């Protein structure tokens, strides 16, 4: 069996992807920070900050999937912004150094990235993979993240970066946070409500990763965002409707959100559309093309 080694495999997407890879006949192994982390697969300890990797972890790695990264849904203090950056960028550099030192040459290195690559802005532009990275915090993080991934070309590896929109899942993730005020009867659009809300169903995201594993023609960066474009106001009202609730409160003012969330408020108040054309032209078919179909499934 071909060995696929994953970082971040205990996260929401990582757990589902690991299981699906196993069901397709791959030898799945994972990197964990603590042995107490629950996993169904053989695990190895790693600590990129301490430059530690358990012996034999990289042996016979066919493909490495890099999903590790601290959540961005936590207040962005200066120290935590460093953690967001380091958990993605420095960890990828560590894996590259270890593979180079041990002469490991995987067929592919597949890395998570994010829709934040283009910057947290609201515009009428539809971002494609050829657009330049944003100059804000998330744009800078994603640009550095992908640069570390593309280093693996030096090892002869095919490199794929998945620029992921907000993932909709029935178990945890962003949707759990987004539905709370609606469940309490306090839901309302954020700011102007006109900021776009790129999203993807977790099953579609997992299947994009599977395609990246099995389709040797996939190389480079790909947007992972559903083809339907909606804004925050539409999303809020559709989510409320699926929950059997009614939105009656006025929009929540931007100043209030900024006061509560600080710099992280950009995640709520800004957003642009992402083109799904490249991944669709590569032969990927979204199972959930509309928000209504996605919400009907995950809720």
What tens digit of pLDDT does each residue of 134-162 get? 999 999 999 999 999 999 999 999 999 99
**Closest alpha carbon to 273 in 232, 240, 221, 220:** 232
pLDDT tens-digit map of 186-232: 899 999 999 999 999 999 999 999 999 999 999 999 999 999 999 99
Instruction: Extract the residue ranges of the chain whose pLDDT is less than 70.
Output: none
Find out whether 117 and 142 touch, Cβ atoms under 8 Å.
yes
Q: Which pTM was predicted?
A: 0.96
Distance CA 116, CA 12 (A): 19
Are 265 and 189 contacting, i.e. CB atoms less than 8 angstroms apart? no
pLDDT on residue 215: 98
Sign of CA dihedral 56, 59, 62, 63: positive
Phi, psi of 200, rounded to the nearest 5 degrees: -155, 140
Look at the block and give the residue holding tokens 């590790």.
Answer: 68
Residue 117 token pair: 């690559």
Phi, psi of 295 (to 5 degrees): -65, -40
What DSSP character marks residue 207?
H
pLDDT confidence of residue 40: 81
Look at the alpha carbons of 67, 71, 77, 83 in this order and tell me if their dihedral is positive or negative.
Answer: negative
185, 245 contact by CB (below 8 A): yes
Length of the chain: 299
| Cβ 29 vs Cβ 42: under 8 Å | yes
Domains and CATH numbers, the chain: 3-166+200-225 (3.40.50.720)
Residue 165: name the closest of 6, 13, 24, 2 by CA.
Answer: 13
């Amino acid at each position: 069996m071909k060995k696929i080694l994953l970082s971040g495999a205990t996260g929401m997407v990582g757990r589902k992807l690991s299981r699906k890879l196993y069901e397709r006949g791959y030898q799945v192994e994972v990197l964990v920070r603590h042995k107490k982390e629950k996993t169904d697969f053989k695990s190895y300890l790693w600590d990129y900050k301490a430059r530690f990797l358990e012996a034999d972890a990289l042996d016979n790695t066919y493909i490495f999937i890099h999903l590790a990264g601290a959540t961005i849904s936590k207040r962005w203090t200066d120290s935590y912004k460093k953690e967001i950056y380091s958990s993605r960028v420095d960890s990828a550099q560590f894996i590259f150094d270890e593979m180079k030192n041990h002469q490991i040459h995987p067929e592919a290195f597949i890395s998570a990235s994010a829709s934040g690559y283009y910057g947290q802005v609201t515009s009428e532009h539809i971002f494609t993979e050829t657009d330049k990275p944003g100059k804000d915090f998330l744009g800078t993080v994603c640009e550095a993240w992908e640069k570390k991934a593309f280093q693996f070309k030096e090892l002869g590896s095919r490199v794929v970066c998945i620029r992921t929109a907000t993932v909709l899942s029935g178990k945890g993730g962003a949707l759990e946070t987004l539905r709370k005020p609606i469940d309490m009867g306090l839901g309302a659009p954020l700011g102007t409500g006109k900021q776009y809300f790129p999203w993807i169903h977790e099953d579609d995201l997992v299947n994009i990763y599977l395609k990246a594993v099995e389709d040797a023609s996939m190389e480079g960066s790909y947007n992972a965002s559903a083809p339907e474009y909606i804004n925050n106001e539409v999303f809020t009202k559709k989510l409320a409707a699926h929950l059997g609730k009614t939105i009656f409160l006025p929009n929540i003012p931007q100043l209030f959100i900024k006061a509560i969330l600080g710099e992280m408020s950009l995640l709520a108040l800004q957003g642009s559309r992402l083109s799904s054309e490249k991944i669709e032209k590569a032969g990927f078919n979204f199972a959930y093309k509309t928000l209504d179909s996605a919400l009907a499934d995950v809720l």
